[in-house]
Chains A and B, each alone.
Chain A
Amino acid sequence: MRRVVTIAGLAFLFSIPLWLGNFYLLHVLIITGIFIIAAMSLNLLLGYTGQLSLGHAAFFGIGAYVSSLASLGFEVHLLPDWLVTLDPKPVWFAMACAIVITGLCGWAIGRIAFKVRGAYFVIVTISFAEVVRLVALNWDELTQGPMALNNIPPLSVAIPGLVDITFIGKVANYYLVLVFAILAYVIIARLVRSRAGRAMIALKENEALAASVGIDVTKYLVLATVVSAAIAGAAGALYAQYVRIVDPNVFLFIYTVTMVIMVVAGGKGTLAGPVVGGVIFGLLPEGLRSLAIAPEVQWIVYGVLMILVVYLLPQGIVPALRSLRQHRHPINSEPQPHADASARQVAP
């Protein structure tokens, strides 16, 4: 049954460009997809280890900048007489660089930030994102500052004799983002169902208890941050090669907020949560826009909805639906009411 639903859902997603004639809507779907990937990566931290990172836009933005800079090439003076030059690299290689470098940033930030917890951790991550934004804004020679990086080349994949695709245009990019999103979903699903994933969930439930049974707290928190940062970096790189212009506004706090609300509304600590929340809060601004109201009003509605979601569905939509189904069919449902039931199975 589950498998049938999955296949039908995937078939539906793959068929969308075939019947959706509206290119603008397709564009909205692509951007939403990119943010869903970022939200899924945030969910790994927020939902599975319980650490609220409010600097996630930093990883997204670093991914976008690294990928763009590597594919455009740059010349920069690190010291007045020390010139570093990089020739333009192929885009697939630039994107791989973005993933590796954001992963390394995640490692560094994880090592630093996990010395503190709770509100302090939140503020360290915000500070990190703000510092990175100010660097992107002020380091003109490298990033062009507010002038933005322009003419970022699109991804092209060429294996001689087999394929030669350049991902330009909406339909190709839709499929590219969809494939990346499925990959990210599978990676995160595998991770949280592994031994490491169970360790992360144990940390969220009770850190002191988890540490007392020998779980290396910092190791697993840093591992989660590295994977999470690398996936967010991939989303940023996808964004850069699709939109083809990157400016320091990608680091704005509001993008982090968007990711957080997608995760929380959908249900943190569930695999489907960020996807459901992402679709709703990705399409919501477009829905509000079609009502032809002022952008400020759209944001006010957004803020109010955010408060309502926390009040009415504190666990999120997916866990709420799950418990609703359990009330209807108490016999053939799984016993655990929240999180991933399968994540708790005993290792063989």
Chain B
Amino acid sequence: MDQLLQHCLNALVLGGTYALLGIGLTLIFGIMRVVNFTHGELYSFGAYMMYMFVMLLHLDFFLSLLLAMLLGIALGAAIEFLLLRKLRGADIDTTMLVMIGAWIAMQNLEQLLWSGVAKSIRTPFPSSPLVIGALSVSWNRLFVLAVALGLIMSTYALVNRTRLGRAMRATFQDPDTAALMGVDIGTIYMSTFALGSGLAAAAGALLGPIFVVTPTMGDLASLKAFAIVILGGLGNIVGATIGGFILAFIEELGAGYISSGYRDAMGFLLIIAILLVRPTGLFSRKERIG
């Protein structure tokens, strides 16, 4: 029983960052119809920025986190501007191939800059975990969960309560009509991509200090983010949040009770199973955003 609770606690922490990844991708995928293979690279970018600021430049941990996220937003905006802007209206395969090319180039650039050796990041948290009864959880993980939940709620508020968010929802429903109503589609696309990238970078910056940082850490992150998007339905922020937690629970319990070797396969089996039963995702009445 204690073991089960411990697994659930671990899953909760992991689920928060999965949800961040999923929300970022579901916005990009939903609004821009771009299958974003660079999403995982933004995730590892966040982790490497964290490494650079904390371990090489000796900046404050929390300031580094903020900087990593801001740089993720900037990089996302740059990718949208340089690679995707001219391809607006191109079919989904074309943009996907461009994103795959960008992904290969970015990952190898990372490998070139930082070498393939795994890096670890020092944290300011006490090394003794918080112990409640038979459960224990490190302070760092609690911090990750708290920040992740804060970011999820901010994103939800941004999309549902602000002018920019309303323009994003309008663009999701019908880009042409939104443009006719005076929405600048170019700005919306750039903000969407930047926001999604920032969330991915934040997920990487949060998880980097818990695990280690490697150039290929983004590969599985991309694929898992796709799994979460499918689970939650396209463009559905609440769905992606719940989907992130579901995936984390399935992985954690599957690794604990079935086989740890197949931990990463759980998500993919889940995708295949869900698409067989409910191709539009578990929580979608119809495709919507918000």
Contacts and interface: CB of A to CB of B under 8 A. Distances in A.
Contact of B97 (A116, A264, A304): A264
Contacts of B90: 314
Kindly state the interface size class of chain B when it binds its partner: 35 or more
B276 to A, nearest CB: 6
Interface in B99-123: 100-109, 111-112
A298 B97 CA distance: 18
Nearest to B101: A306
B262 interface: yes
A126 B226 contact: yes
A18 B265 CA distance: 48
A254 B101 CA distance: 11
A296 B279 contact: no
B162 interface: no
B252 to A, nearest CB: 17
A120 B94 contact: no
Interface residues of A, number: 41
A52 B93 CA distance: 7
A261 interface: yes
Nearest to B86: A311
B275 interface: yes
A113 B102 CA distance: 27
Nearest to B261: A138
Nearest to A302: B104
Given A134-B261, A264-B97, A303-B108, A123 B102 contact: no
A138 B259 CA distance: 10
Contacts, number: 115
A303 B112 contact: no
A322 B104 CA distance: 30
A122 B227 CA distance: 12
A304 B264 CA distance: 30
Interface stretch (B133-141, B153-161, B266-274): B266-274
Given A137-B261, A303-B103, A131 B97 contact: no
Contact of A115 (B86, B269, B275): B275
A294 interface: yes
B21 to A, nearest CB: 15
20 contacts: A52-B96, A112-B272, A119-B96, A122-B35, A124-B272, A126-B226, A127-B272, A130-B223, A131-B269, A137-B261, A299-B108, A300-B104, A300-B108, A300-B109, A300-B112, A305-B101, A306-B97, A307-B83, A307-B101, A310-B101
Given A112-B276, A116-B279, A137-B261, 16 more contacts: A115-B275, A119-B96, A123-B230, A130-B264, A131-B265, A134-B268, A135-B265, A138-B259, A297-B112, A299-B104, A300-B109, A303-B105, A306-B101, A307-B101, A311-B86, A311-B98
